């Protein structure tokens, strides 16, 4: 299935017609001869949480940087809140909030000072500033840390401060570049809950990038899978999972590795693909999990082989990603290309 076949124009993502908040049309970004973003188009409806999912180096950050006016667009068009990012960058900046990938709040400043300075950068009037700061601190649960120096905060609290900083001028569209990278699982879940709460209370449109499947699955209304600068698939998490032929994944671990297993599993009824994982471990995508499970047990018994483990689960975004990109979403599996984007100074390459 091609990416465009499940491309869903904004406004229909949950069945209701909604105005478009972000429209990206055939956008391209080139660095010399290297094309970091290749003819990507999508749109995001107002109030939607839209995720760009892909491994490091896929072009997610480049996309978000073009939409937030940080880097110029080579070709195509990006419209944010009705403003063209190339023609009206200042208008775009006024209506968006941006959370960069790195933690960039000033460590020597207090929580309130960080927020106050950003409110001033957005020309928020003094009275409104005080009110906004109090509100966003409450929203991210940092009110009691108002006077604390940022360097005394934990990683999760600093990320919440970054979120508060991006909201201090009441933006209508919120861009988050890998908002939970580097956080422990508890802090990550706390950030997800907070973003969901903010979406509901402020009617925010959010566009976030992530390479965490679970994050995209739990947080996003729609997901765009990006790889090597191309939009590989787009849809709601359910649509994407349903788009993969086979509703279930059977994970089987044979006690003894045998080259014949791959062929035997592939021939089973209902099996659409088999992914060998090594050491006798196989992921089998099938239309019927229960039927395939029975067949595997019978097959093993007929051959006198022992099964170490056998599990059945529904298709995950991992499977979707593998289906569309042909590889797993693991950082180490990002294939090198002729041109590598230099890492942003100060961040881990």
Q: Which residues bind other proteins (CB under 8 A)?
A: 65, 68-72, 90, 93-94, 96, 98, 100-102, 104, 106, 108-109, 113, 117-118, 120-123, 149, 165, 344-347
The nearer residue to other proteins, 20 or 102, going by C-beta atoms, is: 102
The nearer residue to other proteins, 106 or 269, going by C-beta atoms, is: 106
State in angstroms the smallest separation of the CB of 239 from other proteins: 31
CA distance 57 to 162: 23
State in angstroms the smallest separation of the CB of 35 from other proteins: 18
Residue 73 in contact with residue 66, Cβ under 8 Å? Answer: yes
C-alpha 228: how far from chain center: 15
Residue labelled with tokens 């110029």: 72
Edge to edge, the sheet with strand 248-254 lists 271-278, 281-286, 248-254, 307-314
CA distance 204 to 210: 18
Residue 111 in contact with residue 162, Cβ under 8 Å? Answer: no
The nearer residue to other proteins, 42 or 174, going by C-beta atoms, is: 174
- CA 14 vs CA 10, 235, 291: distances in Å: 9, 10, 33
State in angstroms the smallest separation of the CB of 167 from other proteins: 13
Residue 176: phi and psi, rounded to 5, are -125, 115
Residue 255 in contact with residue 236, Cβ under 8 Å? Answer: no
The nearer residue to other proteins, 130 or 214, going by C-beta atoms, is: 130
Reading the block at residue 142, the tokens are: 């940092």
State in angstroms the smallest separation of the CB of 29 from other proteins: 12
State in angstroms the smallest separation of the CB of 51 from other proteins: 20
The nearer residue to other proteins, 31 or 339, going by C-beta atoms, is: 31
Tell which residue, 28, 5, 9, has the closest CA to residue 18: 9
The nearer residue to other proteins, 4 or 104, going by C-beta atoms, is: 104
State in angstroms the smallest separation of the CB of 59 from other proteins: 15
């Amino acid at each position: 299935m091609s990416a465009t076949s499940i491309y869903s124009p904004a406004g229909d993502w949950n069945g209701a017609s909604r105005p478009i908040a972000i429209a990206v049309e055939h956008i391209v970004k080139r660095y010399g001869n290297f094309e970091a973003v290749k003819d990507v188009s999508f749109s995001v409806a107002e109030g939607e949480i839209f995720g760009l999912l892909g491994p490091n180096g896929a072009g997610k950050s480049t996309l978000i940087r073009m939409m937030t006016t940080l880097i110029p667009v080579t070709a195509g068009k990006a419209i944010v809140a009705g403003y063209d990012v190339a023609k009206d960058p200042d208008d775009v900046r006024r209506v968006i909030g941006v959370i960069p990938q790195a933690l960039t709040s000033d460590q020597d400043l207090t929580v309130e000072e960080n927020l106050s300075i950003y409110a001033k950068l957005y020309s928020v009037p003094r009275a409104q500033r005080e009110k906004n700061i109090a509100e966003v601190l409450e929203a991210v649960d940092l009110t009691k840390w108002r006077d604390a120096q940022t360097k005394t905060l934990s990683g999760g609290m600093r990320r919440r401060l970054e979120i508060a900083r991006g909201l201090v001028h009441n933006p209508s569209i919120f861009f988050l570049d890998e908002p939970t990278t580097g956080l422990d699982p508890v802090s990550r879940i706390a950030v997800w809950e907070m973003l969901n709460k903010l979406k509901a209370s402020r009617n925010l449109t959010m566009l976030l990038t992530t390479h965490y499947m679970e994050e995209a699955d739990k947080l996003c209304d729609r997901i765009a899978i990006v790889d090597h600068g191309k939009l590989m698939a787009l849809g709601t998490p359910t649509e994407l999972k349903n788009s993969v032929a086979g509703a279930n994944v059977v994970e089987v671990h044979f006690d003894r590795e045998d080259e014949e297993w791959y062929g035997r599993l592939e021939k089973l009824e209902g099996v659409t693909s088999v992914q060998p994982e090594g050491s006798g471990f196989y992921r089998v995508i099938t239309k019927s999990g229960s039927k395939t499970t029975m067949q595997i047990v019978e097959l093993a018994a007929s051959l006198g082989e022992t099964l170490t483990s056998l599990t059945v689960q529904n298709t995950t975004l991992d499977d979707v990603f593998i289906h569309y990109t042909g590889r797993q979403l693991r950082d180490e599996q990002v294939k090198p290309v002729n041109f590598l984007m230099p890492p942003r100074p100060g961040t881990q390459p």
